[in-house]
Amino acid sequence: MFDVDSMYFDRDGKPMSQQDWNTRFHDLDYKRVAVHKRGDMLEEMVSTVWVGMDMGFTRGLPIIFETMVFGYGDWDQFQTRYATEKEALIGHDQIVVLIQSGATPDDWYAAHEED
């Protein structure tokens, strides 16, 4: 039988109950990991958040962080996911640098083919 609580994790990757996850998920300060936006509008933004629900559905570390890009041309709606907060912060910064350098999502995929 599937244990629904086994799919929820805090920012340190430790299991948590669905109730605790629900409380944390609605706490924007807890949820937000990193944000980069151009200008005052949210039309162009790189956002990395803790999702807390294992989106990997595989063995190994739970995938509980996600970076999404909004706007920024070809990058719009690009997303990638991570197991740890450290990976998420590094990945977020790498995507920002790629966007600022004029790289495309294809460049990101080429660099991560072996991942």
Which one, of 82, 111, 99, lies nearest residue 9 by Cα?
Answer: 82
Is the pLDDT score of 109 beyond 70?
yes
- Share of residues in the chain with pLDDT > 70 (%): 90
Mean pLDDT of 49-58: 88
Mean pLDDT of 65-83: 95
Confidence band of 76 (pLDDT split at 50, 70, 90): very high
Contact 111, 103 (CB under 8 A): no
Structural domain spans, the chain: 4-111
For the purposes of burial, counting CB atoms within 10 Å of the CB of 48, is it exposed (0-12), middle (13-18) or buried (19 or more)? buried
Is the pLDDT score of 47 beyond 60?
yes
Would you state the pLDDT for residue 2? 42
Is the pLDDT score of 89 beyond 70?
yes
